[in-house]
Structure 1
Amino acid sequence: MTAADPLARLRALCLALPEVTEKLSHGEPTWFVRRTFVMYADHHHDDRLAFWCAAPPGVQEELVAADPSRFFRPPYVGGRGWLGVYLDIEAPDWAEIGEIVTDAYRQVAPKKQLARLDGASSG
């Protein structure tokens, strides 16, 4: 994995979470913990590289309003509050992206996996 490979970095963040699996969905790598929580987004071929993810209530609106050069309302799932995060920007903040991915996981993971995540975080 190189610093310039955003898919590899995103994959590593997602797969580090308890019981996450990766499958292709709509032709793109997608990460699941029973349900989808992150989807790589290069399939619209609009010259933008991004990912879409579940987000806590209000976060999409807050981040898009604060920095539309980094965040967007994704098609199809944006109406459900999902967040779009551009990866093709100069110097993505991977620590922040890690927090966003973890928050997405928390939106869909069953309680058992959340307990494992919280146990790993505090131990």
Structure 2
Amino acid sequence: MAHPQMFDDEDPFLARLREIALALPDADMKVSHGVPAFFTKKVFAYYGASVKVDGEWVRHERCVSVLLDPGEREAMLADERTFVPAYLGPSDWISVDLVHDDNGTVDDVDWDEIAELLDASYRMTAGPRRVAALDAGRLPGRG
């Protein structure tokens, strides 16, 4: 049975994340387990995640999940916006909430920081040829 879609195609946070992620060499997007997954050969980011709190599933609709090297991961986990996502967490993924409350807007997000996290995760998964292509160009999301 297919997973239901758990995102809105018109979500402005997803639109901005899609713009940054798809600017990376050979990056594409697919829907995996009901959420957008950004990938080359391997997934380097997901939009949306869940976590179990006191036995109940809590959905974080507007977050990005990335894979970071252990030192970066530990530093990010000290940030109150981050959490260890269900299913992906045991494989060293972390999630970062893009908004802190329902009143947050796209303009409130530090998109340069999100671009850096996507870049780091991409480098962990994309392979040497793609990383070299990235290094030869400009980091997406930078003005």
Partner of 2:87: 76
Q: What does 1:1-123 align with in structure 2 at a 5 Å threshold?
A: 5-41=12-48, 46=59, 48-65=61-78, 67-68=79-80, 70-89=81-100, 90=104, 91-121=108-138
TM (norm. structure 2) is 0.74
Are the aligned partners of 1:60 and 1:73 in contact in 2 as well (CA < 8 Å)? no
Q: Residue 49 of structure 1: CA displacement?
A: 1.9
Are the aligned partners of 1:15 and 1:21 in contact in 2 as well (CA < 8 Å)? yes
CA distance in 1, matches of 2:24, 2:44: 11
Are the aligned partners of 1:22 and 1:30 in contact in 2 as well (CA < 8 Å)? yes
Larger helix proportion, structure 1 or 2?
Answer: 1
Structure 2 unaligned blocks of 5 or more:
1-10, 51-56
Are the aligned partners of 2:29 and 2:36 in contact in 1 as well (CA < 8 Å)? yes
TM (norm. structure 1) is 0.85
- Runs of 4+ displaced beyond 6 Å: none
Matched residue count = 117
CA distance in 2, matches of 1:26, 1:84: 16
Shift in CA distance, 120/62, structure 1 to aligned 2, threshold 3 Å: same
Q: Residue 58 of structure 1: CA displacement?
A: 2.6
Q: Percent identity?
A: 35
Larger strand proportion, structure 1 or 2?
Answer: 2
